[in-house]
Amino acid sequence: MTEPDESLRDYIRTVQENTQKYLRDLASENDKLCALVRTLEGHLDRERKDREEVEQRIRAVEAERRTYQERYHEVEEQNDNVSKLYAATLRIHRSISHEDVLAAIHEIIINLVGSEEFAVFEMNTDGTRLARASSFGMDVARLGPIAVGTGIIGHAARSGDTYVAGSGPAPGSADQVPLEANLTACVPFLVEGVVTGAVAIFKLLGHKPRLEPVDLELFTLLGSHAANALYCTSVVESSGAPRSLHMRAAAETRR
């Protein structure tokens, strides 16, 4: 009975020793794996941060690209506006007769603003009435003299303020004349702060739904430069000077 007991005890001891060793190995292996997991977590964390940084940089670059694109469009639009204003200014300043200034005003309103019905008025000598100087696309019979202070056009002629439909209450609308029912804008001509006339714009071209900011710039230009040109050519023509100017220009061309 002794031998088998001894043998069993040995076996049990061996098993226990092996189990202990196995547990130690397992714990050691577990420690290594835990360390490896921590290392990998560190890598992952760094990569996550790197990815976030890259994503942040991409977002910044994208925002910068959008800003540049917006600025490019703005510059493009400004360039377009400046070109129109330059062409209009040059055209007005190249005009040496009253008739040619009126033609320049027509060209600007038709081609650059985009209107198919408008009228140019000039003030009489005592500053009480506007009379039609020229018009386009309108029944001339409807464009009789307008008393200063009456209706929207008359009011603009008295105040010197540009009227644009839809930009607030219209001064003078209480006594507006039937002609003004379709008025889109009225730009008074100002020379040295004195109203010398006005351009009334009624209908825009069918494919032009509304006035644009550049149109308001063109109105400012018409209200000052065209006004000066009309005034100066009137003065020069009434003095008889243009004839000699034309003759001199023609002589210089022949030379």
Task: Please report, as ranges, the residues that interact with another protein according to CB under 8 A.
Answer: 76, 79-80, 83-84, 86-88, 90-91, 94, 104, 107-108, 110-114, 116, 205-208
**Residue closer to another protein, measured from CB, 158 or 208:** 208
d(Cα 162, Cα 216) in Å, to the nearest integer?
9
**Residue closer to another protein, measured from CB, 9 or 73:** 73
The 10 Å CB-count burial string (b at 16+, else e) for 94-124 is ebbebeebbebbbebbeebbbbbbbbbbbbe
Residue 96 C-beta: closest distance to another protein, Å: 13
**Residue closer to another protein, measured from CB, 112 or 187:** 112
Find all residues with CB under 8 Å of 72, minimum gap 6, and list them. none
Residue 110 C-beta: closest distance to another protein, Å: 6
Q: What beta strand segments (E) does the chain contain?
A: 115-123, 129-136, 146-147, 163-164, 185-191, 194-204
CB 112 within 8 A of CB 88: yes
Residue 200 phi/psi, 5° resolution? -110, 120
**Residue closer to another protein, measured from CB, 9 or 93:** 93
DSSP 225: I
> Hey, which residues does 135 pair with through a beta bridge?
119
Residue 210 C-beta: closest distance to another protein, Å: 12
**Residue closer to another protein, measured from CB, 27 or 205:** 205
Residue 178 C-beta: closest distance to another protein, Å: 26
Find all residues with CB under 8 Å of 107, minimum gap 6, and list them. 91
**Residue closer to another protein, measured from CB, 125 or 253:** 253
Residue 107 C-beta: closest distance to another protein, Å: 4
Residue 223 C-beta: closest distance to another protein, Å: 17
